[in-house]
Structure 1
Amino acid sequence: MTSGRTPPSSSEPGTGSPRAGAVDVRGWVGGIRLSSFMVIMLSLVVLGAWVLVPTLGTYLDQKQRISALEHSVQVTQQKIDQLKAERDRWKDPAYITSQARERLFYVKPGEVVYLIDNDIDPAAQPTDRAPVSKKVQEHTSDWGAQLLRSVTGAGLAQTAASAPGR
């Protein structure tokens, strides 16, 4: 009672002795039966996904925009609160007086003010300063003495250079 088929050998993948992790794909696909009801339901699922995916994308995009706008509103509200606190501070006469003393160095009549200029410890100051740029550097020459030498040298010169073309 042979069917004309050769018995499956162990060398063919998916047939023969069951191996760990091997799947008989031909047997699995052959077991699927499609009815008209199944095709209609599958097409309705595909149609529903085709309709809902762009809507879902729009929904997620709008949620992201709403989140960004809420964050922007929160940051703006914090800035408004800071500005209101600053405005309230400027309504206080003691704060105005302290700001005038610190920023503009105002004093009340009869007060003596001592301004300390360059109160940094000389040991903490850098001794070797880097040049500001490669083109502009400080020269340690006496420009006044050079100017005096140039003027006296021009005045004591024996010959005057004539202008070209005369």
Structure 2
Amino acid sequence: MAKTTAPPSRPPRADAAPRRRPPRRPVDVREWLGGIRLSGFMVIMLGLVVLAAFVLVPTIGTYVDQRQRIAALEAAVQLSREEVAELESQRERWRDPAYITTQARERLYYVRPGEVVYLVDNDLPPELAPQEQEPVSDEVRQTRTDWMSQLVRSVTESGLAQTVAPVTIGVPDPDPTPDPTP
């Protein structure tokens, strides 16, 4: 087996000095611009590039606007197709006599002759049932607030309320209190 050796490296020269870059001198713009030679062909081509930019920029803007409109219309068409599919499936369900019977029983409380139906009233759990209001006192009390500010506060609070209490006008009380005088 032969031994390979690396070639001998050259010893550094004593007279070799590190390379220096020439100092930078300031650039004279007039000299630089004077070196550019404009020919008639170059002026015509530069004019065509500027003209093309003025023509194409509005056209590209119109193109982008039209693409956005097309995308919005395609989304609307897709939404309409989904709605049509939902309505067609609903129409198919209404063609089934069993579905019609079920809907009539649930929504309108229809029954077949001879059937007995029991309706459960107040089937809510006690924590979800509406709470009874406290009875109104029999004695008249003097309030220590101004009635006008109380009225304004009441109107503004009712306008900002998140829930609405049902109004039962003309509906008889299901549990009337008996008259205590015989």
- TM bucket normalised to smaller: 0.5 to 0.7
Once the two structures are superposed, the pairs formed by residues 63-102 of structure 1 within 5 Å of their partners are 63-102=67-106
Question: 1:107 aligns to what?
Answer: 111
Pick the aligned partner of 1:134 from 127, 131, 154.
Answer: 154
Alignment coverage as a number of residue pairs: 113
From the superposition, tell whether residues 110 and 128 of structure 1 become closer, same or farther in structure 2 (CA, over 3 Å): closer
From the superposition, tell whether residues 123 and 60 of structure 1 become closer, same or farther in structure 2 (CA, over 3 Å): closer
Query: Can you give the 5+ residue segments of structure 1 that lack an aligned partner in the other structure?
Result: 1-16, 19-23, 137-144, 146-166
One-letter identity of the residue aligned with 1:99: Q
Distance apart, 1:48 and its partner CA: 0.7
Query: Can you give the 5+ residue segments of structure 2 that lack an aligned partner in the other structure?
Result: 1-22, 134-152, 159-178
User: Given the two structures, how large is their TM-score scaled by the length of structure 1?
Assistant: 0.58
Question: 1:125 aligns to what?
Answer: 129
Cα distance between partner residues in 2 of 1:128 and 1:28: 92
Distance apart, 1:80 and its partner CA: 0.7
From the superposition, tell whether residues 34 and 101 of structure 1 become closer, same or farther in structure 2 (CA, over 3 Å): farther
1:141-164 Cα distance to aligned partner (Å, 9 max, x none): xxxx9xxxxxxxxxxxxxxxxxxx
Which gives a bigger RCO, structure 1 or 2 (Cα 8 Å, sep 6+)?
A: 1
Distance apart, 1:39 and its partner CA: 2.2
Distance apart, 1:41 and its partner CA: 1.6
Pick the aligned partner of 1:35 from 33, 38, 41.
Answer: 38
From the superposition, tell whether residues 29 and 98 of structure 1 become closer, same or farther in structure 2 (CA, over 3 Å): farther
From the superposition, tell whether residues 108 and 95 of structure 1 become closer, same or farther in structure 2 (CA, over 3 Å): same
1:73-92 Cα distance to aligned partner (Å, 9 max, x none): 11111111111011000000
Distance apart, 1:134 and its partner CA: 3.2
Distance apart, 1:30 and its partner CA: 4.0
One-letter identity of the residue aligned with 2:154: K
Cα distance between partner residues in 2 of 1:75 and 1:100: 31
Which has a greater percent of helix?
Answer: 1
From the superposition, tell whether residues 34 and 99 of structure 1 become closer, same or farther in structure 2 (CA, over 3 Å): farther
User: Given the two structures, how large is their TM-score scaled by the length of structure 2?
Assistant: 0.53
SS of the counterpart of 2:106? helix
Cα distance between partner residues in 2 of 1:122 and 1:65: 55
